[in-house]
Structure formats: structure tokens, C-alpha cells
């Protein structure tokens, strides 16, 4: 025979269990309607299991990533990602890509991430971007012999810009666009080389590439005062590769804190221009 006290005890336990079950169900329902609930995506583990990371980049973007005089791919992004991979414990695989098909290369798993990306709303929507690590501006470079001293002076001139790039979009948005001749080239380096050869009157390029080129050149160049907005670089990952992106961000922040990132920046820019938090 079950005593009344035991019945009350059993009843209390059952009621408590029912309350917990209802609460758990309600929590599951709330979480099911949320889009920011952490979900394990396996992207980091995939790289760790493979023992390597495939890094996609523009091979003609000095000083971020480019071939030196001996054909070796070097640059700020290369040094930064080499150190990230070292701390991650995987082999660093450099994989130059066609910049016009970079997102296709990423989404088809030809690369695990892409460096040197200018942050745009569209890219932020299509990819999972790191926090910015360098900021710059789009600038016009003209030869030292040019009479151009402002944007208006470029009317009727031939201006080089990278095909399919953010600078090309910015150039199209200018009031003088219908009054200039535009030459689309493969990359920043080609633009600056054509400027050196005299086939262009001006080039619209990323400031990090322009200042590096001007500093190394024996010829004189001028930078026009107009700057087409401030831009920031990030590393791009596939949209759902949050685990890999977050681990990268942790490592880059550690590199900033311990001074490693600053030393890499000083090597290429003679000062620490990184903006990592």
C-alpha cells in the first residue's frame, strides 16, 4: 500500500518533471525561430583534418600579394596568413586565383579563404568576412609630367582601372565618367606599369599598391587630392564557414596583441597600419 505522503511526493516529482518538459519545449521552440543560435559547421575541423589551408589571392597586388624578382609569391597577406597557419598547425598552401572568378573559386572549394578583399555590402552578404585589418582609399596616380592637379583635369584623359573591381564601380559613379576614356586592365600592377609606359594618363588604384609602387619607382608620380572614400580589407570565407572564420579572427587578434602583426606591417609599409582590434 502506498502511503499518502508518498503519493504527494510522487505527485510533486511528476509535476516538476512536467514543468521542466514544458519549459524545455518552449526553449526549443524559441531557439528554432532564431537565426543566430550557434550551429557547428565543421569548417575549422575540415581544415585541421586536411592538415592544410588553401589561401586564394590576387598574385599581382603589391605589396599585399605578388611575385618578386625570383618568381616567389610574397607580400603582407602572404606573411600574415603564413603565421596564422603556423599557429593553427596546418600547412599554408598559396593558390593564386583569377580575381574575376574569386567567389566561384571559394564556393567550389578551390580555396578555403580569400585575402585582400575590399569590404562591400554585397560581399558581406555573400561571404563571411573577417573584421577589417587594413584600411585605405582609392586614389588617382598621374605621371610627374602630367599637368593634372585635380579630378576635373582628367576630363578627356585615358584612365586605367582594374576590371570587375570596386575602383571600377567608383569610377563609373563619378560625374566626369562620360568625359573620360576608360581602359580596364587585369590588376593594379598592370595599371601602374602602363602608366609608367605612358599609355595611360592616370590610374585609379588602391592606395596601398600605389604608394608602394611610387616609393620603389625611379620616376616621379603625383597623387591627386581627391580620394574616393575610405576602404577596408578583410579575409573572405564561405558564408557558412563561421567556425573557421572565428578561429582565424582569434589568431589575428592574438598576433596584433603580441606585436607580430605590427612587425609584418612594418616590413611592408615601414609602420604599423593595421587596424585589428
Cα gap 268→163, rounded to integer Å: 26
Q: Which pLDDT belongs to residue 39?
A: 57
Q: Which pLDDT belongs to residue 229?
A: 78
Q: Which pLDDT belongs to residue 14?
A: 44
Question: pTM, whole model, 2 decimals?
Answer: 0.70
Q: Which pLDDT belongs to residue 126?
A: 96
Cα gap 261→75, rounded to integer Å: 13
The structural domains of the chain, ordered by start, are 43-135+233-269 (3.40.190.10), 136-232 (3.40.190.10)
Cα gap 203→161, rounded to integer Å: 6
The list of the chain residues with pLDDT below 50 reads 1-35, 37
| pLDDT per residue as tens digits for the range 219-248 | 899 999 998 878 899 999 999 999 999 999
- Quick check: 239 and 35 in contact, CB under 8 A? no
Cα separations in angstroms, 114 against 127, 167, 174, 200: 10, 18, 29, 30
Nearest to 77 by CA among 90, 91, 64: 64
Q: Which pLDDT belongs to residue 119?
A: 92
Q: Which pLDDT belongs to residue 40?
A: 65
Q: Which pLDDT belongs to residue 54?
A: 98
Q: Are strands 128-129 and 221-237 parallel, antiparallel or unpaired?
A: antiparallel
Instruction: Give the residues across from 205 on adjacent strands.
Output: 139
Amino acid at each position: 500500500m502506498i502511503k499518502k505522503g508518498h503519493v504527494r511526493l510522487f505527485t510533486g516529482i511528476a509535476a516538476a518533471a512536467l514543468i521542466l518538459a514544458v519549459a524545455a519545449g518552449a526553449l526549443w521552440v524559441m531557439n528554432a525561430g532564431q537565426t543566430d543560435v550557434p550551429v557547428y559547421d565543421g569548417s575549422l575541423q575540415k581544415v585541421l583534418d586536411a592538415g592544410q589551408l588553401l589561401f586564394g589571392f590576387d598574385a599581382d597586388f603589391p605589396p599585399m600579394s605578388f611575385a618578386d624578382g625570383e618568381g616567389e609569391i610574397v607580400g603582407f597577406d602572404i606573411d600574415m596568413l603564413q603565421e596564422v597557419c603556423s599557429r593553427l598547425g596546418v600547412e599554408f598552401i598559396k593558390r593564386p586565383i583569377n580575381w574575376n572568378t574569386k567567389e566561384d573559386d571559394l564556393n567550389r572549394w578551390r580555396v578555403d579563404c580569400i585575402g585582400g578583399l575590399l569590404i562591400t555590402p554585397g560581399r558581406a552578404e555573400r561571404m563571411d568576412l573577417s573584421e577589417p585589418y587594413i584600411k585605405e582609399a582609392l586614389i588617382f596616380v598621374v605621371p610627374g609630367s602630367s599637368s593634372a592637379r585635380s579630378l576635373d583635369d582628367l576630363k578627356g584623359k585615358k584612365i586605367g582601372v582594374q576590371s570587375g573591381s570596386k575602383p571600377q564601380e567608383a569610377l563609373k559613379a563619378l560625374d566626369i565618367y562620360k568625359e573620360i576614356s576608360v581602359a580596364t586592365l587585369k590588376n593594379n600592377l598592370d595599371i601602374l606599369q602602363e602608366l609608367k609606359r605612358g599609355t595611360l594618363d592616370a590610374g585609379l588604384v588602391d592606395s596601398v599598391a600605389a604608394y608602394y609602387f611610387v616609393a620603389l619607382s625611379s620616376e616621379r608620380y603625383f597623387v591627386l587630392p581627391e580620394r574616393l572614400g575610405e576602404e577596408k580589407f578583410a579575409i573572405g570565407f564561405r558564408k557558412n564557414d563561421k567556425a573557421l572564420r572565428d578561429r582565424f579572427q582569434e589568431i589575428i587578434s592574438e598576433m596584433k596583441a603580441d606585436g607580430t602583426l605590427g612587425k609584418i606591417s612594418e616590413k611592408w609599409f615601414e609602420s604599423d597600419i593595421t587596424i585589428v582590434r
